Copies of this chain bind each other. A is one copy, B any other.
């Protein structure tokens, strides 16, 4: 994979959400990135760790999570190529949660100092990355609402819908279907329910002809019903520079 392809998804995403000048793009392209491969289901950055670099997802799916004293785990967000899930570590020096892979991944590591220097040199770039962390924050807010207020079937539909919208941006939705490589255990951890209940809910959505979930791939069977159930308003994704 040529070096510019590595950065392409990142630039494309930042461009669509924030707008970038040519010089900004050039500067971002010039950032040194160390590429590493990780197998599926592997921690990348640990809770409690003091990070000195950020992690760009080049290929594969990741998730962020926190584990509480009782051993229960909550998935906080899902991440796809072009995203930097731990950008926050730039200023929050010790990690308060974990970043791990869901599938096998190609990840690019960008040094904190390099990023900070770029920000001082080009405040406009800093603002774009700041905005990116704010969108991340907006997604957490919606995740709170999802887990706090929606019944389990709507929760699942909403998470699927959000993932689809984000995958669409990077051209990864194929007709009525897209990837969502989580086990039912992980789906439960994302929705704040048990794996058994996750299974019930998945079955229910299948039986009602709304969505099919098989082998880490979602297929929407009835778009109208899916929309109704998900109760999705994508404003919180702030996908346009003016929103």
Residue numbers of A with Cβ under 8 A of B are 48, 64, 66, 68-70, 72-74, 76, 88, 91-94, 96-97, 119-120, 123, 126-127, 130-131, 133-138, 140-145, 147-150, 191-192, 231, 235-236, 238, 242-243
The SS class assigned to the A binding surface is helix
The count of identical subunits is 2
Find out whether the CB atom of A150 lies under 8 angstroms from the CB atom of B92.
Answer: no
Find out whether the CB atom of A140 lies under 8 angstroms from the CB atom of B144.
Answer: yes
Within the complex, the shortest CB–CB distance from A92 to chain B, in Å, comes to 5
Looking at the complex, which one of B72, B97, B134 makes contact with A88 (CB distance below 8 Å)?
Answer: B134
Looking at the complex, which one of B73, B92, B147, B235 makes contact with A94 (CB distance below 8 Å)?
Answer: B235
Within the complex, the shortest CB–CB distance from A52 to chain B, in Å, comes to 14
Find out whether the CB atom of A70 lies under 8 angstroms from the CB atom of B231.
Answer: yes
Find out whether the CB atom of B147 lies under 8 angstroms from the CB atom of A88.
Answer: no
With contacts A123-B119, A123-B120, A150-B68 known, is A141 near B96, CB below 8 A? yes
A94–B243 Cα gap in the complex (Å)?
Answer: 5
A7–B96 Cα gap in the complex (Å)?
Answer: 29
A123–B116 Cα gap in the complex (Å)?
Answer: 10
Looking at the complex, which one of B69, B231, B242 makes contact with A93 (CB distance below 8 Å)?
Answer: B242
